[in-house]
Amino acid sequence: MEGRMPLLGDKFPELKVQTTHGVMELPKAYEGKWFVLFSHPADFTPVCTTEFVAFQKRYDEFKKLGCELIGLSIDQVFSHIKWVEWIKDNLNVEIQFPIIADHNGSVANTLGLVHPGKGSNTVRAVYVVDPKGVIRTIIYYPQEIGRNMDEILRVVKTLQISDTGVAVPANWPNNELIGDKVIVPPASDIKTAEERLKSKEWQCYDWWLCYKDLK
């Protein structure tokens, strides 16, 4: 992985970071837990402020999934602290998760969070990492568009579901074809394909598109 940004399926790089909750070692600090690391362009900016409020409003839902949140931008820790204070004093929302102060840009460079075509600040990136420290999802948004936190929450939920050996359809749990059901992996041989269509356990559009209730 040396010399390139991490990719899906890679181990999250070992990093020692300064945060609003003190020095942390990633991914060790979240060993055995899922975590979402998300970068934002800068403190004291309007879209980023709406995002932090939105993340905090859903923090309990993330924690119910065994998932932690950690923010990041190329700002000093003093700026983070003051911004968190401002949000609490003016918006009555207390940011309870840590924020990485990547003032020298080393973490951003390691994770590929700065895209020169979009300026020198970090873009709105999202890394979803599983309890084994493996990167499972990477999402990028431009600086001018705030993220949908319900979708990020859905990503964590569906990754956990997919780890049980099924696949998850588009727009789950409101898929246009199968609703809140999940997809059975396609058959890999003729015999299994034929048996699929006779199964009482699953429903099928065809042998390669079968689905079942989520148990």
Average pLDDT (121-130) is: 94
Domain membership of residue 133 (yes or no) is yes
Domain membership of residue 10 (yes or no) is no
Same domain, 131 and 209: no
Domain membership of residue 9 (yes or no) is no
Residue 2 has pLDDT above 80, yes or no: no
Active-site residue, 48 included? yes
Residue 25 has pLDDT above 90, yes or no: yes
Residue 18 has pLDDT above 60, yes or no: yes
Lowest-confidence segment of 37-41, 161-165, 188-192 by average pLDDT? 188-192
Give the chain's mean pLDDT: 94
Looking up residue 193, the CATH number of its domain turns out to be: 3.30.1020.10
Domain membership of residue 2 (yes or no) is no
Same domain, 115 and 205: no
Domain membership of residue 152 (yes or no) is no
Domain membership of residue 3 (yes or no) is no
Same domain, 180 and 82: no
Task: Write down the pLDDT at residue 196.
Answer: 84
Lowest-confidence segment of 36-50, 86-100, 113-127, 171-185 by average pLDDT? 113-127
Token representation of residue 108: 């951003």
Same domain, 113 and 34: yes
Range of the domain at 198: 164-215
Same domain, 174 and 96: no
Same domain, 138 and 180: no
HSE on the CB side for 39, CA within 13 Å?
Answer: 29
Same domain, 22 and 113: yes
Residue 3's pLDDT band, with cuts at 50, 70 and 90, is low
Average pLDDT (145-156) is: 97
Domain boundary among 147, 173, 201: 147
Residue 46 has pLDDT above 50, yes or no: yes
- Alpha carbon distance 17, 60 (integer Å): 24
Task: Write down the pLDDT at residue 166.
Answer: 95
Average pLDDT (191-215) is: 89
Residue 79's pLDDT band, with cuts at 50, 70 and 90, is very high
Same domain, 140 and 188: no
Same domain, 109 and 37: yes
Residue 1 has pLDDT above 70, yes or no: no
Residue 195 has pLDDT above 90, yes or no: no
Domain membership of residue 202 (yes or no) is yes
Domain membership of residue 78 (yes or no) is yes
Lowest-confidence segment of 12-21, 30-39, 45-54, 117-126 by average pLDDT? 117-126
Looking up residue 89, the CATH number of its domain turns out to be: 3.40.30.10
**Exposed (0-12), middle (13-18) or buried (19+): which is 66, by Cβ within 10 Å?**
middle
Average pLDDT (84-106) is: 96
Secondary structure of 103-167 in HEC code, one letter for each residue: CCCHHHHHHCCECHHHCCCECEEEEEECCCCEEEEEEEECCCCCCCHHHHHHHHHHHHHHCCCCE
- Alpha carbon distance 99, 72 (integer Å): 5
- Alpha carbon distance 173, 211 (integer Å): 13
Which of 48, 67, 204, 210 is flagged as catalytic? 48
Q: Structurally, how many domains does the chain consist of?
A: 2
Same domain, 186 and 86: no
